């Protein structure tokens, strides 16, 4: 494929933006080469600035569950724009979105809309600290909760891709308040709570990790974690920014049957526009200003364009049979990729929950930070570029989830499997 225009744009960008990008993983550091610059998207397809077309499995890193430029979202945003792009004041649509979220996610009785997932997780942790009068938090290795200081400790995603387990600029005193444990390791959690239980305000985790590649919780793990929090008076925060309305309509908490104290959301609830939210039990959320003393605010919170897109998206997802269709497409795709790897003799572990999936180039199970790190990231880079050359756009990092959308159909799956067979043949 020809990438002259992408190359020229990247050279211009490098002198204007750090690394030439506005978010680290986009720079292709995890796979080598230069990033592709895109011009448009439609359904499951992306078109780059050189006119090349790709079946897209990034989906703007998760929000585009309906696919690119879905008619319902385009229409909703277009209509909203005609009434004004921002008010900085209450409006009816944000109330409707809050009602829909609270109706769909049983653990959420009250919700606060914000502008990003990072903002949501920051606010949820502040609420947990304020509600418990404790300072320490527990996060799980490889889970990523945004680029806030408290979370940049063994954070996965772009941090892991760049080989930066911690980021300069994070005060050591603040980092000491973030305790870490391996994902899926119950004894480690029991030790931490045994030693520091009275200091722990909350545990925050991705119930299905998407920012170390897809890591799946072992049976009973989330339930034991919830019991430990209850026993020691800590709050359980499920970061469902990626999994919310993605792995099930009610998120991972519906899928695994747990009820967290607080939930953070983003991505899908904005339908492709910047939005986030956090919510939980009424007595906790009532502590947020102006109803309570714990301060959190945002000029663009409840932005009418983002809310319009989110409402349109969630209403589409409420239609009968949509998650069954998404599951069937995702299963066929991932089973086909696994079969193609086996036939080529390429060691591969493919983790999938619903429409989230990751190929790990290892024959061993991948279930935590350490086992994910043991996968062959260089081989993934070769696979990525082989697939790119065949017109398949995957996340440019071993440590990210790929996503299936409702835009993906039989033709896109078959094209992807054909490309995978070609790519695996080059790796064998």
Residue 164 predicted with pLDDT over 50: no
Contact 349, 363 (CB under 8 A): yes
Query: Looking at residue 149, what is its pLDDT?
Result: 67
pTM above 0.75, yes or no: yes
If you ran DSSP here, which 8-state letter would residue 242 be given? T
Residues 31-52, mean pLDDT to the nearest whole number: 98
Residue 103 predicted with pLDDT over 70: yes
Half-sphere exposure of 204 (CA within 13 A, CB side): 33
β-bridge mates for residue 154, sequence order? none
Q: Taking Cα atoms as reference points, which of 362, 289, 356, 359 lies closest to residue 329? A: 356
Q: Taking Cα atoms as reference points, which of 265, 283, 234 lies closest to residue 123? A: 265
Q: Taking Cα atoms as reference points, which of 411, 217, 244 lies closest to residue 333? A: 411
Query: Looking at residue 163, what is its pLDDT?
Result: 36
Residue 21 predicted with pLDDT over 50: yes
N residues, the chain: 428
Give the range among 107-116, 125-134, 151-160, 278-287 with minimum mean pLDDT: 151-160
- What proportion of the chain, given as a percentage, has pLDDT over 70? 96
Residues 135-145, mean pLDDT to the nearest whole number: 91
Half-sphere exposure of 13 (CA within 13 A, CB side): 18
267 is catalytic: yes
Residues 398-421, mean pLDDT to the nearest whole number: 97
Contact 135, 177 (CB under 8 A): yes
276: enclosing H helix or E strand: strand 276-280
Residue 202 predicted with pLDDT over 80: yes
CA distance 53 to 39: 10
Q: Decide: helix, strand or coil at residue 281.
A: coil
Give the range among 143-147, 184-188, 212-216, 384-388 with minimum mean pLDDT: 143-147
Domain 4-69+321-427: CATH architecture, name and number where available: Alpha-Beta Complex (3.90)
Structural domain spans, the chain: 4-69+321-427, 71-317
Residues 283-301, mean pLDDT to the nearest whole number: 97
Query: How confident is residue 41, by pLDDT bands cut at 50, 70 and 90?
Result: very high
Query: Looking at residue 177, what is its pLDDT?
Result: 87
CA distance 283 to 38: 45
CA distance 370 to 184: 11
Residues 300-326, mean pLDDT to the nearest whole number: 97
Q: Taking Cα atoms as reference points, which of 153, 136, 135 lies closest to residue 144? A: 153
Query: Looking at residue 156, what is its pLDDT?
Result: 46
144 is catalytic: yes
Question: From the candidates 239, 278, 379, 393, which is the catalytic residue?
Answer: 239
Question: From the candidates 139, 267, 278, 323, which is the catalytic residue?
Answer: 267
Residues 292-302, mean pLDDT to the nearest whole number: 96
How confident is the model over 57-83, as pLDDT tens digits?
Answer: 999 999 999 999 999 999 999 999 999
Q: For all residues of the chain together, what is the average pLDDT?
A: 94
CA distance 198 to 210: 30
For residue 258, report the phi and psi dihedrals to the nearest 5 degrees. -125, 160
Residue 45 predicted with pLDDT over 90: yes
How confident is the model over 117-135, as pLDDT tens digits?
Answer: 999 999 999 999 999 999 9
For residue 139, report the phi and psi dihedrals to the nearest 5 degrees. -125, 160
Query: CA angle at residue 259 from 93 to 307, to 5 degrees?
Result: 15
Residues 287-308, mean pLDDT to the nearest whole number: 97
CATH fold of 71-317, please? 3.40.640
For residue 349, report the phi and psi dihedrals to the nearest 5 degrees. -115, 120
Query: Looking at residue 158, what is its pLDDT?
Result: 43
Query: How confident is residue 428, by pLDDT bands cut at 50, 70 and 90?
Result: confident
Residues 191-201, mean pLDDT to the nearest whole number: 95
Structure token digits, residue 412? 């896109």
Per-residue CA distances from 215 to 133, 137, 325, 352, 370 (Å) = 32, 21, 23, 8, 11
Question: Phi/psi zone of residue 58: left (φ > 0), alpha (ψ -120 to 50 degrees), beta?
Answer: alpha
Query: Looking at residue 152, what is its pLDDT?
Result: 65
CA distance 127 to 141: 22
Residue 159 predicted with pLDDT over 70: no
Question: From the candidates 54, 57, 144, 278, which is the catalytic residue?
Answer: 144
Query: Looking at residue 153, what is its pLDDT?
Result: 63
């Amino acid at each position: 494929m020809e990438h002259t225009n992408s190359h020229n744009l990247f050279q211009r960008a490098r002198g204007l933006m750090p690394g030439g990008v506005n978010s680290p993983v986009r720079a292709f550091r995890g796979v080598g080469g230069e990033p592709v610059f895109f011009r448009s998207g439609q359904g499951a397809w992306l078109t780059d600035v050189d006119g090349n077309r790709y079946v897209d499995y990034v989906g703007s890193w998760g929000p585009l569950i309906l696919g690119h430029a879905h008619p319902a979202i385009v229409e909703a945003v277009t209509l909203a724009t005609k009434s004004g792009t921002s008010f900085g004041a209450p409006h009816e649509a944000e109330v409707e979105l809050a009602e829909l979220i609270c109706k769909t996610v049983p653990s959420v009785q009250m919700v606060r809309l914000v502008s990003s997932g990072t903002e949501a997780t920051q606010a949820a942790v502040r609420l947990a600290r304020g509600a418990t009068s404790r300072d320490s938090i527990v996060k799980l290795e490889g889970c990523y909760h945004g680029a806030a200081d408290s979370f940049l400790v063994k954070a996965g995603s772009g941090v892991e891709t760049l080989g930066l387990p911690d980021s300069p600029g994070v005060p050591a005193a603040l980092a000491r308040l973030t305790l870490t444990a391996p994902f899926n390791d119950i004894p480690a959690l029991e030790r931490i709570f045994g030693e520091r239980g009275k200091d722990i305000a909350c545990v925050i985790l991705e119930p299905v990790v998407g920012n170390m590649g897809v890591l799946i919780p072992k049976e009973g793990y989330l339930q034991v974690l919830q019991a430990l929090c209850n026993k020691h008076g800590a709050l359980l925060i499920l970061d469902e920014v990626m999994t919310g309305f993605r792995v099930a309509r009610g998120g991972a908490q519906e899928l695994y049957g747990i009820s967290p104290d607080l939930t953070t959301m983003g991505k899908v609830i904005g339908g492709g526009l910047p939005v986030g939210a956090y919510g939980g039990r009424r007595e906790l959320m009532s502590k947020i200003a102006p109803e309570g003393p714990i301060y959190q605010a945002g000029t663009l919170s409840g932005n009418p364009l983002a809310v319009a897109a989110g409402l349109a998206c969630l209403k589409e997802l409420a239609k009968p049979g949509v998650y069954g269709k998404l599951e069937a497409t995702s299963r066929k795709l991932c089973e086909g990729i696994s079969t193609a790897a086996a036939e080529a003799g390429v060691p591969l572990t493919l983790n999938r929950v619903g429409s989230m999936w990751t190929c790990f180039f290892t024959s061993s199970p991948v279930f935590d930070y350490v086992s994910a790190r043991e996968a062959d990231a260089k081989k993934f880079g070769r696979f990525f570029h082989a697939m790119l050359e065949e017109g398949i756009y995957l996340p440019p990092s071993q440590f990210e989830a790929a996503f299936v959308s409702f835009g993906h159909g039989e033709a896109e799956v078959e094209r992807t499997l054909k490309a995978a067979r070609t790519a695996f043949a080059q790796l064998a």
